[in-house]
Structure 1
Amino acid sequence: MSIDNQIQVVLIDDDPHLRQALCQTLDLAGLKVLTLGEATGLTARLSRDWPGVVVSDIRMPGMDGLELLAELHGQDAELPVLLITGHGDVPLAVQAMRAGAYDFLEKPFASDALLDSVRRALALRRLVLDNRSLRLALSDRQQLSTRLVGHSPQMLRLREQIGALAATKADVLILGETGAGKEVVARALHDLSSRRSGPFVAINAGALAESVVESELFGHEPGAFTGAQKRRIGKFEFANGGTLFLDEIESMSLDVQVKLLRLLQERVVERLGGNQLIPLDIRIIAATKEDLRQSADQGRFRADLYYRLNVAPLRIPPLRERGEDALMLFQHFADEASSRHGLPLHELQPGQRALLLRHSWPGNVRELQNAAERFALGLELALDNTPDNPAAGVLTSTPGGLSEQVEQFEKSLIAAELTRPHSSLRSLAEALGVPRKTLHDKLRKHGLNFADSGNHSTDDE
C-alpha cells in the first residue's frame, strides 16, 4: 500500500524503544509520522512526488541505511534522507554525505537537533516539489501548444480548460464536429494528468457491431453466450488505473447506456455471465458530435446519463470559427509532411492564404491535414465549400514566379466570387470591378465557368 501524502516523516529504526521515543518527539512538534522497523519495500510505497522526508538508522538487519539511501535516490534523487547512527563512525558519515544524504546525526542527539534537521529538510522538499510543478506546468503548456496549434481566443480558452481539468479526477464530455480533434484532446487530458503512467484506451462505440459492444466494453466469462469459450477482459477493466476514451457515445444502445451509467456511479464493472463486481480506478472521457441534450429529449439518449456526463464538458471549436488558425495549422502539417517525405518546404502565397481562409472546412482539422499533405507532395488540390462546386479554388505547392502567383491569386478571387449568388454575368463583373468582356476572357483563361458555379445568367451573351 502506498504511503499517504499526509505523512511528513517516515522513521525507520529496528530498535522499538528508540523508534517510539523519536516518533513522540516528532509527533509533539505537530509532524505526521509513519514508523517502520525495517527498510525493505519502502521505495515501492513512495511516489516520486511524495512531499515528506525519510529518517533512517544506518545499521539495521536486512537493508541498511546506506542501501536504502541508494535505492530511494534511484527513484528520486531530490528526496531528503536523514541518516542516524550510534557508532560515531566518521568515515561512515562522510560516505553517507557523499552518497547524497541530507544530514547525518550521531546518537545520542538532542531532540532539537532532530527537529531542526527535519524541518529544514521539509522546507527543501516543498521548494523542490514547487519547482518541479512549475517546470511540469511549463512543459504541459508547451506540449498543449504543440498538440493543439492555434492562437485564436477559442483555442487559448480550450487549452486553459484542458490544463485545469487534467489535474482533476472528473470525467469529461468532449463536444466537437467530425475531424475536430476529439481524441487529441482526450490524449492531452490523460498525458497531463496524474494517470499519465497508466493505460490510455481509446474505443469508437460507433465502429462496434451491436452484438459485440457489451463484450468489448465490459468483458465476458466463459459460456456467457454462444461462442464465449474463454474469459475476455473488457476495455473498461483493461483501462484500470488509467483513462478510457469512448468516442461516438451517442451511438450506444439504451441498454448499454444503463450499464455505463452504473459504472460511472459505482466505479465497478461486471463481466457478462459473471457475478463478481470488479472495482475500477478509471477516468472516463466520452466524446460526441451530436447534441446529447436534444437526443435525450427525443428519447435516443438517456437523460440521466447525459446529466452524469455533462458535469465537465469541453467544446472543441470547429475550424471555421478559428480564423487564421487554419493558416498556422496548414503550414504546420505541410512542414511535417515535407520533412517526413524528404521534400523541400513550401511557403503559402497570398492567394493561397486567402483561399484557405475562405474555405469552411466541413471536415475540420482532419480535412485540413489531408489537404496539407497533398500540398506538401506538390499535388493540385481543389478546395470546395460545396461538393458540386469545383470552382471554389485550386491550391498547389508550386506557384512559380511572380506572374504565376498573380494569376493564381486572380483565379482564386474570381473562383471565390463564383461561390456567391449572382443573377447574371454583369452582376459578377460588377462585383469584381471589371468589364464583362474582360471577365469573359479571364473565365476562359482560368478554365472557370459561370454555369458550373450554380448561377444562371439572364444576360444576352
Structure 2
Amino acid sequence: MADLPFSNKAELTDIIIVDDEQIIRDSLRQLFELEGYQVHTYTSALTALDRINRQFPGIVITDINMPHMDGLSLLEQITALDSELPVILLTGYADVPMAVQAMHKGAYDFVEKPVNETLPDTVSRALEKRRLVLENRQLKDQLRQNKEPGVRILGDTPVMQEMMSLLNAVVDTPADVLIHGETGTGKELVARFLHEHSHRAQANFVALNCAAIPENLIESELFGVRKGAYTGAEEHRAGKFEFAHQGTLFLDEIEATPLSLQIKLLRVLEERKVTPVGSNEAIDLDIRIIAATKTDLLQQADLGDFRHDLYYRLNLVKVDIPPLRARKADIPLLFKHFSSIAANRFHKSLLPLDSNQLQQLISYDWPGNVRELRNTAERHVLLGTDIQLSSSATSPAFSEDLSLSEKVAFYEQSLLEDALQQTSGSVKQALEILRLPRKTFYDKMAKYGLERSRYTRGNN
C-alpha cells in the first residue's frame, strides 16, 4: 500500500500559537521554528479559529488569559469542531482547579509559564497523536468507500489520496465542479462518484458529451424544446437540464460548447432556471453541474475560444485527475481489478502476471491512461497472450517503481483473488486455502476493493 499523506515520511509540523503577548508569541515561534516546525501565530482566539477545521494537520498552543475570548473558550470551540485536535493550554500561574477543569474540557496538556524543555516533547507527542488520528480517519474513509455500493475510485498513491480528500470534502455540497484530466483518466467516473455518494444519488445522473452533438441541436438537447418551436418539433421534449432536476448534469468536453451557447449556459448556471426553445416560461432547477475538459480552459479563454465569465463560474471547485504515468504505483492494483472483472465477464481464469510482465506495466507511460490499461487487462484475460505495449515504454529497474510493501500488497491481493477464483467465491473454502480468520479475510477484501459476487456461482 502506498504511503498515506500522514505517514511517518510526511510528519505533521503545523503549530498554531495564540497569545496576546508579542514576546511570548515571538519566543515560542523561535523555539519551534528552530525545531523545524511550521508556526502560525495569532493575537486573538477569534482569528485563530478561522484557520482550524477537522482537516487541520497540526495542534494548537494557546494562552488562557486573553481578551475577548480566553483559552478555555477557545478550547471549547475547537473541541466542538474536532474533539481529537490536541490543544495545549498555557498559564502564567499555577492553578490546580483550572488545570483540572481544562483537562475535563478536553485539553491535551496544561503548561505553566515560563515554558521549559518539556514543552517540545509535549508538542512532539501531540503532533504524533494528531497524525495517527488523521491517518485513522483516512483509512476508515477508504474502508467505508470500499464497502458502500456504487462507484469506487481505486488508487493508494499520494496524488490519488489528495484527489479523494478533495472529492470527499465537496461530495455532498451544492457546489458545481470542473474536472480536468487527459483522455482516458476517468473524468466520468469521478463525476459519477460525486453523484452516487451525494444526497442526489436517487435522482438522475445525466451525461452529455458536448463535442458529440451537432451545433444546431445542442441548444435543444440541453434546454429542451416546446412543440412548434421549429419545423419538426412536433411535441414537447425535456432537455438535459430539466431531466437532471434534483440530480446531476455531467457536461463532458465542455470546451466544445459553441460560443453562441455559452452565454445561455452561464445564465442557467447563475439563475438555476432553464427556458426551453420556443417557450417564454422558465423552469426552476435544483441541479448540480459537473463539467469536464481535457484542455486548459483558461488558455482557451485567453485565445477567445471560451468565455472567461463561464470559466470562472465553472471553476468554483476544480478536480485535477492525475495521468496514470504520475501514479505508477497504482498500476498493479488497477490491472488486478480490471483483470478480475474481465475474468468474471468472459468466464476465463485469472492469469497471474510474472515479474517481467509486471515490470512492463510499470515502465510503460500509458498515453491512453486508465482506459488503455483496462483494455490491456481485458485482452490479457481474453486472449491469454503476452502483454503487448508500445515500443515507447521505458525500462527502469523494477525495484525502483514498487516498494517492498507495494509488491507484498500486490502478491497478497493476487492470493486472495486466486482463492476466490478457485472456490467460485466460496468464503468457507477460501478461508481453508488461505488459512485466515474470517474477519481478517473480510478486512483484506475491503482493503483491496474485492467483491465476492464477481466470483460466486451460487456458493455461500
Shorter chain as normaliser: what TM range? Answer: 0.5 to 0.7
Deviations 1:180-231 (A, max 9, x none): 0011100110111111111111111111111110111101112212211111
Note closer, same or farther for the CA distance 1:371–1:143 as it changes in structure 2 (3 Å cut).
farther
Q: Give 2:73's aligned residue.
A: none
Contact 2:151–2:192, Cα closer than 8 Å, also in 1? no
Identity percentage of aligned residues? 51
Q: Give 1:352's aligned residue.
A: 357
- Cα distance in 2, alignment partners of residues 171 and 303 from structure 1: 16
Contact 2:145–2:152, Cα closer than 8 Å, also in 1? no
- Cα distance in 2, alignment partners of residues 324 and 170 from structure 1: 31
1:163 is matched by which residue type in structure 2? Answer: N
Note closer, same or farther for the CA distance 1:383–1:138 as it changes in structure 2 (3 Å cut).
closer
Quote how far apart the aligned CAs of 1:380 are.
Answer: 3.9
1:153 is matched by which residue type in structure 2? Answer: P
1:384 is matched by which residue type in structure 2? Answer: S
- Cα distance in 1, alignment partners of residues 387 and 394 from structure 2: 11
Deviations 1:233-284 (A, max 9, x none): 0000000011101100000001111111000000000001110011100000
Q: Give 1:370's aligned residue.
A: 375
- Given candidates 169, 176, 179, the residue that maps to 1:174 is 179
Q: Give 1:200's aligned residue.
A: 205
- Cα distance in 2, alignment partners of residues 143 and 314 from structure 1: 22
Contact 2:357–2:387, Cα closer than 8 Å, also in 1? no
Q: Give 2:238's aligned residue.
A: 233
Moved more, 342-351 or 306-315: 342-351
Quote how far apart the aligned CAs of 1:143 are.
Answer: 4.5
Note closer, same or farther for the CA distance 1:385–1:254 as it changes in structure 2 (3 Å cut).
farther
Alignment of 1:423-434 (within 5 A): none
- Cα distance in 2, alignment partners of residues 194 and 145 from structure 1: 13
- Given candidates 261, 273, 283, the residue that maps to 1:256 is 261
Moved more, 271-280 or 335-344: 335-344
Q: Give 1:382's aligned residue.
A: 388
- Given candidates 325, 329, 334, the residue that maps to 2:339 is 334
Question: In structure 2, the residue corresponding to 1:271 is in which secondary structure?
Answer: coil
Contact 2:226–2:276, Cα closer than 8 Å, also in 1? yes
Q: Which runs of 5+ in 1 are unaligned?
A: 1-134, 394-461
Quote how far apart the aligned CAs of 1:392 are.
Answer: 7.5
- Cα distance in 1, alignment partners of residues 273 and 254 from structure 2: 19
Question: In structure 2, the residue corresponding to 1:290 is in which secondary structure?
Answer: coil
- Cα distance in 1, alignment partners of residues 141 and 242 from structure 2: 29
- Cα distance in 1, alignment partners of residues 372 and 323 from structure 2: 12
Contact 1:177–1:318, Cα closer than 8 Å, also in 2? yes
Q: Is 1:277 aligned with 2:282? A: yes
Q: Give 1:312's aligned residue.
A: 317
2:159 is matched by which residue type in structure 1? Answer: Q
- Given candidates 150, 165, 169, the residue that maps to 1:164 is 169
Contact 2:151–2:196, Cα closer than 8 Å, also in 1? no
Quote how far apart the aligned CAs of 1:338 are.
Answer: 1.0
Q: Which runs of 5+ in 2 are unaligned?
A: 1-139, 396-460
Note closer, same or farther for the CA distance 1:251–1:189 as it changes in structure 2 (3 Å cut).
same
Contact 1:361–1:385, Cα closer than 8 Å, also in 2? no
Q: Give 2:9's aligned residue.
A: none
Alignment of 1:81-100 (within 5 A): none
Q: Give 1:43's aligned residue.
A: none
Contact 1:144–1:188, Cα closer than 8 Å, also in 2? no
Q: Give 2:409's aligned residue.
A: none
Alignment of 1:44-59 (within 5 A): none
Contact 2:179–2:292, Cα closer than 8 Å, also in 1? yes
Contact 1:331–1:347, Cα closer than 8 Å, also in 2? no
Contact 2:363–2:394, Cα closer than 8 Å, also in 1? no
Quote how far apart the aligned CAs of 1:171 are.
Answer: 0.3
- Cα distance in 2, alignment partners of residues 144 and 242 from structure 1: 18
1:211 is matched by which residue type in structure 2? Answer: N
TM-score, structure 2 as length reference: 0.53
RMSD: 2.2
Note closer, same or farther for the CA distance 1:336–1:222 as it changes in structure 2 (3 Å cut).
same
Quote how far apart the aligned CAs of 1:140 are.
Answer: 3.4
Contact 2:248–2:288, Cα closer than 8 Å, also in 1? yes
Q: Give 2:305's aligned residue.
A: 300
- Cα distance in 2, alignment partners of residues 347 and 151 from structure 1: 21
Alignment of 1:382-421 (within 5 A): 382-384=388-390, 386=392
Q: Give 2:435's aligned residue.
A: none
- Cα distance in 1, alignment partners of residues 357 and 150 from structure 2: 25
1:366 is matched by which residue type in structure 2? Answer: R
1:320 is matched by which residue type in structure 2? Answer: R
Note closer, same or farther for the CA distance 1:374–1:141 as it changes in structure 2 (3 Å cut).
closer
1:382 is matched by which residue type in structure 2? Answer: Q
- Given candidates 266, 269, 272, the residue that maps to 2:271 is 266
Contact 1:248–1:288, Cα closer than 8 Å, also in 2? yes
Alignment of 1:180-191 (within 5 A): 180-191=185-196
2:358 is matched by which residue type in structure 1? Answer: R
Alignment of 1:37-48 (within 5 A): none
Contact 1:247–1:288, Cα closer than 8 Å, also in 2? yes
Contact 1:158–1:314, Cα closer than 8 Å, also in 2? yes
- Cα distance in 2, alignment partners of residues 197 and 155 from structure 1: 27
Q: Is 1:343 aligned with 2:367? A: no
Note closer, same or farther for the CA distance 1:177–1:304 as it changes in structure 2 (3 Å cut).
same
- Cα distance in 1, alignment partners of residues 224 and 391 from structure 2: 44
2:390 is matched by which residue type in structure 1? Answer: D
TM-score, structure 1 as length reference: 0.53
Question: In structure 2, the residue corresponding to 1:382 is in which secondary structure?
Answer: coil
Deviations 1:139-163 (A, max 9, x none): 3364599721111001111111111
2:385 is matched by which residue type in structure 1? Answer: L
* Higher RCO structure, 1 or 2 (CA under 8 Å, sep 6+): 2
Quote how far apart the aligned CAs of 1:286 are.
Answer: 0.4
Note closer, same or farther for the CA distance 1:192–1:373 as it changes in structure 2 (3 Å cut).
same
2:388 is matched by which residue type in structure 1? Answer: A
Contact 1:144–1:159, Cα closer than 8 Å, also in 2? no
Quote how far apart the aligned CAs of 1:381 are.
Answer: 3.9
Contact 2:348–2:381, Cα closer than 8 Å, also in 1? yes
Q: Give 1:92's aligned residue.
A: none
Contact 2:178–2:314, Cα closer than 8 Å, also in 1? yes
Deviations 1:287-323 (A, max 9, x none): 0000000000000000000000111000100000002
Contact 1:296–1:306, Cα closer than 8 Å, also in 2? yes
Contact 1:382–1:392, Cα closer than 8 Å, also in 2? no
